[in-house]
Structure 1
Amino acid sequence: MGRRRGRAIHGVLLLDKPQDISSNDALQKVRRVFNASKAGHTGALDPLATGMLPICLGEATKFSQFLLDSDKRYRVIARLGQRTDTSDSHGKIICEREVQVTPAHLDAALETFRGDTMQVPSMYSALKHQGKPLYEYARQGIEVEREARPITVYELQFIRWEGDELELEIHCSKGTYVRTIIDDLGELLGCGAHVIYLRRLQVANYPNHRMVTLEQLYELKEQAERQQIEAGELLDPLLLPMDTAVVHFPVIHLTSVVAVYFKQGQPVRSQHRLPSGEWVRVTEGDENKFIGIAVIDDDDLVAPRRLVVETYES
């Protein structure tokens, strides 16, 4: 018996990931609820973490890379006085020190993380070394030399400091490890620190209020069963359009005639004038249907890069 393919459903779901499950587990649960033929997430959250995990379904997976590259915003609570091997509360305590930190000392330490800096990723990260994630080496007790990577912390806001708990909000660039910021902060303060709470508040410009939980998805599926209707009638309206992943790109509109050539993979000319190398969203026809993304080439042509297949219906 052949494997069921699932529905050809397309869009972006803003999942509010629960604590203590992996991002991939959350992805698979969403895929099964929607019975989607294809799904992918846009940047893993640690099992400890909760919050926004954009999940791309169907043709939207073609544009997920642009969400991986986007800015993120987090709320984090750190415990001062203890350092762990994973830099969070899931790890083993490797050092305990007395917390002797003044407000002035904390302010000065926080300032060093703002702006453009270099960060050495944690051994407990999904970055790969020779084809294997670093966390696999870490679990075997193997330390791998890691190169520092450039990151940007646009905002590092102090929220509260009560006892040994420090709460911060961080707006940062792609590739930033909040656990590493907290571990480095703890060492700079001389007391050690690790993450006990982490929530992703925002990815790119996606609205926080559009997040949905797994429980809400299950409830809607059960409601559909009670009403004897297709689950998609209740679930699909939760999806955001697939081009929201690239909404920051300028838009180029093509007539339906010109769009035929574009959808065949041919560079086309447009009335729009944009710099060479610029990424653009491309729409067609009276309905401004999203048909893919392109790059302006050296001849001022709109060169297709990723196309939405014709099976997509707007």
Structure 2
Amino acid sequence: MAELIERMAVETDPNYGIEPAKRTIEQHLRLGIIPIDKPCGPSSHEVGAWVQRMTGAAKSGHSGTLDPQVSGVLPVALDDATKALTFMLKSDKEYIGIMRFHADVDSGLVLRLFSEYVGRIKQLPPVRSAVKRVERERSIYALELLELEGRDALFRVSCEAGTYVRKLCHDIGKRAGSGANMLELRRTRAAGFTEKQCCTLQELSDALWLWKERGDDSLLRKYVYPVESALRFRRMFIVDGAIEAVCAGAQLALPGVAKFEKGMGKGDTIMLMSLKGELVAIATALMTESEMKAGTKGLAAKTVRVVMRAGTYPRLWKKHEKIENVV
């Protein structure tokens, strides 16, 4: 856990809000992320729709679309948690796949080519893609050869969001002089979730049955993660009196900051948290760490996306006051 820098000692009112771990199962679902082990066959949108229908959620969304024939980690957000999806999509991804070369290759050549593709690379999206076909840069953080059997290479790749692994295989095959295509692919990490944290659709169905028919929500709580756990930004904890104004879209003034994580920089994307550990909003830091430590006034953060529902904490400003000046 990152070190916290305290600006002032302040308590939170137990009559408002609730610690994420103490939410009712209904609240937990409304602010929940379910990492599904997507099977081969259905589209990511179909899986998300099934989860929404099974849980009874009003809406759902998923972080990072997988092709129908690709399996693995597919985080599905429910109801209010969908507000954080844009920021979850930016997380790095990890895959394990099989690449088939179109001629015999030796491990030395494959290892050399893999090493050449670690770092910044340029990619032209495939013809069948949901984005405009213009060349763009992406980062490959690691590309590891796990096994080479004949013309088939088992590999693991850690990459920036938006990387086309199928295109990566094609480009490596082209450099090898033989050509290559991707045979199989499985995503093993997305939005901070690993495949060990995933549940299958059948396991989710069983957990929902236990809750609805037996009143036992223990298994469901194991499969549903709070939205707070899916984001990897530094945290700024704000006083109770500032929360409702932030929920109304106000910028956060420095007097509303109780403590913040060390290493926070001006311009960073951050999480505005209640003192109970609830995600209030995603914001942009407007001050450096030293300015927040020594300052007494000024704007500390600009609200970008509100996640918490309005009315969770009391409104402490009068109707005639401008919201942006009361935090």
Bin the TM-score by the shorter chain: 0.7 to 0.9
Equivalences for 1:188-199 in 2 at 5 Å? 188-199=175-186
* Residues 228, 278 of structure 2: 8 Å contact kept: no
Residue in 1 that maps onto 2:229: 244
* Residues 109, 185 of structure 1: 8 Å contact kept: yes
What is the Cα deviation at residue 62 of structure 1? Answer: 0.9
Residue in 2 that maps onto 1:65: 86
1:125-149: CA deviations, max 9, x gaps? 222x4xxxxxxxxxxxxxxxx3211
Q: Does 1:125 align with 2:129?
A: yes
Residue in 1 that maps onto 2:271: 281
Q: 2:104 aligns to what SS in structure 1? A: coil
Q: Does 1:210 align with 2:231?
A: no
Distance between the aligned counterparts of 1:159 and 1:214, measured in 2?
29
Equivalences for 1:21-100 in 2 at 5 Å? 21-81=42-102, 99-100=103-104
Residue in 2 that maps onto 1:290: 279
Distance between the aligned counterparts of 2:182 and 2:212, measured in 1?
41
Q: Does 1:263 align with 2:244?
A: no
Distance between the aligned counterparts of 1:211 and 1:179, measured in 2?
24
Q: Does 1:179 align with 2:166?
A: yes
Distance between the aligned counterparts of 1:22 and 1:199, measured in 2?
14
Higher mean C-alpha displacement, 70-79 vs 258-267: 258-267
Distance between the aligned counterparts of 1:310 and 1:263, measured in 2?
6
Q: 1:54 aligns to what SS in structure 2? A: strand
Distance between the aligned counterparts of 1:240 and 1:169, measured in 2?
26
Distance between the aligned counterparts of 2:113 and 2:269, measured in 1?
38
Distance between the aligned counterparts of 1:48 and 1:300, measured in 2?
48
Distance between the aligned counterparts of 1:244 and 1:55, measured in 2?
13
Distance between the aligned counterparts of 2:89 and 2:54, measured in 1?
24
1:241-263: CA deviations, max 9, x gaps? 112232x2221111112223222
The residue identity in structure 2 corresponding to 1:238 is Y
Distance between the aligned counterparts of 1:120 and 1:284, measured in 2?
43
1:79-127: CA deviations, max 9, x gaps? 222xxxxxxxxxxxxxxxxx13233322222222111111111112222
Distance between the aligned counterparts of 1:311 and 1:177, measured in 2?
42
* Residues 11, 57 of structure 1: 8 Å contact kept: yes
Distance between the aligned counterparts of 1:235 and 1:312, measured in 2?
25
The residue identity in structure 2 corresponding to 1:303 is K
Q: 1:70 aligns to what SS in structure 2? A: coil
Q: Extract unaligned runs of 5+ from structure 1.
A: 1-5, 82-98, 130-145
Distance between the aligned counterparts of 1:226 and 1:259, measured in 2?
37
Q: 1:64 aligns to what SS in structure 2? A: helix
Identity among equivalent positions (%) equals 26
The residue identity in structure 2 corresponding to 1:296 is A
* Residues 105, 151 of structure 2: 8 Å contact kept: no
What is the Cα deviation at residue 186 of structure 1? Answer: 1.5
Q: Extract unaligned runs of 5+ from structure 2.
A: 1-25, 288-297, 314-327
Residue in 1 that maps onto 2:303: 304
* Residues 9, 37 of structure 1: 8 Å contact kept: no
Distance between the aligned counterparts of 2:268 and 2:210, measured in 1?
45
* Residues 10, 312 of structure 1: 8 Å contact kept: no
Distance between the aligned counterparts of 1:68 and 1:28, measured in 2?
18
Q: 1:151 aligns to what SS in structure 2? A: strand
What is the Cα deviation at residue 181 of structure 1? Answer: 0.7
* Residues 170, 179 of structure 2: 8 Å contact kept: yes
Residue in 1 that maps onto 2:39: 18
Q: 1:126 aligns to what SS in structure 2? A: coil
Distance between the aligned counterparts of 1:194 and 1:76, measured in 2?
11
1:206-243: CA deviations, max 9, x gaps? 2432100011112233444653x48x675354211112
Q: 2:236 aligns to what SS in structure 1? A: strand
Residue in 1 that maps onto 2:316: none
What's the TM-score, normalizing by structure 1?
A: 0.78
Residue in 2 that maps onto 1:151: 138
Q: 2:225 aligns to what SS in structure 1? A: coil
